[in-house]
Structure formats: C-alpha cells, structure tokens
C-alpha cells in the first residue's frame, strides 16, 4: 500500500527481531515455514510427500532368537585292532523376558574289529525362570538311550533352583540342584526301575581371550540303586566367524 516506506519498515522489523529471545525467533521462523508449506486455497495437499514411510515389522518365528553351537568329532585307529568312534552334540538357548529355554542333545557311536561297542544318544530340555539377577528356578526333562547300559532307555523329569556364582561376559559359573523322578525299563525283562532322584549340575564358561574358549560341564543324577555322572571338558578356538576347532 505504501511502497515508498517498504525499506524502512523491513529495517525496523529486522532490528526488533534481533533483540527478541532465540526461542521466540525460532517459533516465528517455524510458523513462517508452516504457513509456507500450506498449499494455496483450492489446491489439494500432496499426502504422499508428507507421510512418514511405513517400516514393515520384523517377522518372528519359532526358530528366531536361538543362540547355540553344534560340534562333531571322530577318531580312527588301526594296527593290532581297528577302532572307529564318532560323536556329536548340540546346545541351543533362547531367552524371552524372564524365561530361558535350553535344549541339548548328543550321540556317540563306536566300533572295534567290526563289532559295535558303543551306541548312545539323548536329548534334554530345561526351562529357567529368573528370580533375580543371579538366581533362578528351573524344570528339566531328559531322555537317554544307551544300548550297553543294561537299560532300554531312561526318562528323567524334575525341577529345582540355580545360582550364578559368577556372571560376566568373559566368565560365568553356575550351580543348580533339585529333586526329580527317573523311569528306567531294564533290558530283556519286564522290570522297571522307578526311583526318586536328585539332580545337580555345574556349568562353567570362560572366554580366555577373543576366539579362545574353555568350557566345563558336570551333571549328576542320583538314585538309590544307581548314579549317573557326566563330565565334559572342552577348549575351542575360533577359525572363522561360525567355525571353531577344539579338543573335548
């Protein structure tokens, strides 16, 4: 309306804006930008250009979230006698909230002079319930079959409590124990051992240095007539990202 006064008005406005607090000027700039973004009256808003792109959620399945390892070994000897032995084992764990699923399995086969002298395998499942940072309760079920043990197979079911004596990234040591029940049909008879059992275990994992790991697992299942003790010592070194070599 008064073009001759435009330069003076703009200079006066600039001088006053410079004296205002930063928050106020930022608000004014944001308001101006918002006004500028509005389309002219009568023109539709371009929704596609203003919407935030949708990110498709990651799919989860029964096999997702598991962490573990599998190992395989074999030995051959010849001379006065020919002996062959192969074996393997796996362990997988998954933590969801306060629950930790632990699944393990193994097999061992042996032959001497063409005669099988070892054939055993088994699987176990354990569910831990975290009670605190270091303590937990658990339930456990296991199936073991050993052709040369005198039993057709053995079933165990029980529960108990465990505690981490040490719990850190390079070193963990846990102990656990509890009561259970063991069911053992005897070979070539109709007799069945059904006994109250006690189960205990020690689990040690030590990362000596990056790529070098030491493990010691001991478990004992005790009943009045028989006691089963299993101990495994293993040291492994990482060769590639998902491949290690070791001695057990």
pLDDT of residue 16: 67
pLDDT of residue 44: 55
> 157 with 179: CB under 8 angstroms?
no
> Radius of gyration over alpha carbons of the chain, in Å?
34
pLDDT of residue 24: 47
Inter-CA distances, 239 with 50, 86, 210, 242, 246, Å: 50, 22, 11, 8, 10
Residues of the chain with pLDDT below 50 are 23-25, 28-30, 32-33, 36-37, 47-50
pLDDT of residue 65: 84
Residue 145 CB partners (closer than 8 Å, separation 6+): 120, 121, 122, 152, 153, 154
Q: How far apart are CA 88 and CA 7, in angstroms?
A: 88
pTM above the 0.85 mark? Answer: no
pLDDT of residue 236: 92
Residue 161 CB partners (closer than 8 Å, separation 6+): 131, 135, 136, 137, 138, 176, 177, 178
pLDDT of residue 149: 83
Evaluate the CA torsion angle 160, 186, 146, 125 in order and state its sign: negative
Would you give the distance in Å from CA 58 to the centre of its chain? 18
Joined tokens for residue 247: 């001695």
pLDDT of residue 18: 66
């Amino acid at each position: 309306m008064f073009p001759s006064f435009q330069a003076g008005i703009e200079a006066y406005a600039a001088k006053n804006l410079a004296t205002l607090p930063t928050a106020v000027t930022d608000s004014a700039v944001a308001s101006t930008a918002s006004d500028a973004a509005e389309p002219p009256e009568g023109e539709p808003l371009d929704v596609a250009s203003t919407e935030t792109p949708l990110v498709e959620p990651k799919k989860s399945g029964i096999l997702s979230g598991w962490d573990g390892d599998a190992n395989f070994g074999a030995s051959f000897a010849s001379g006065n006698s020919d002996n062959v032995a192969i074996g393997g084992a796996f362990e997988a764990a998954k933590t969801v909230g306060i629950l930790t699923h632990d699944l393990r399995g193994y097999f061992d086969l042996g032959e001497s002079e063409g005669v099988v002298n070892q054939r055993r395998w088994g699987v176990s499942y354990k569910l831990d319930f975290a009670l605190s940072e270091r303590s937990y309760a658990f339930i456990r079920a296991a199936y073991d079959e050993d052709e040369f043990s005198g039993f057709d197979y053995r079933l165990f079911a029980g529960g108990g409590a465990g505690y981490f004596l040490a719990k850190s990234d390079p070193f963990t040591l846990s102990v656990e124990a509890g009561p259970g029940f063991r069911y053992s049909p005897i070979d070539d008879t109709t007799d069945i051992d059904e006994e109250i059992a006690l189960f205990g275990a020690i689990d040690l994992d030590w990362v000596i240095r990056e790529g070098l790991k030491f493990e010691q697992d001991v478990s004992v299942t005790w009943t009045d007539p028989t006691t089963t003790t299993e101990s495994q010592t293993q040291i492994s070194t990482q060769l590639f990202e998902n491949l290690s070599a070791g001695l057990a």
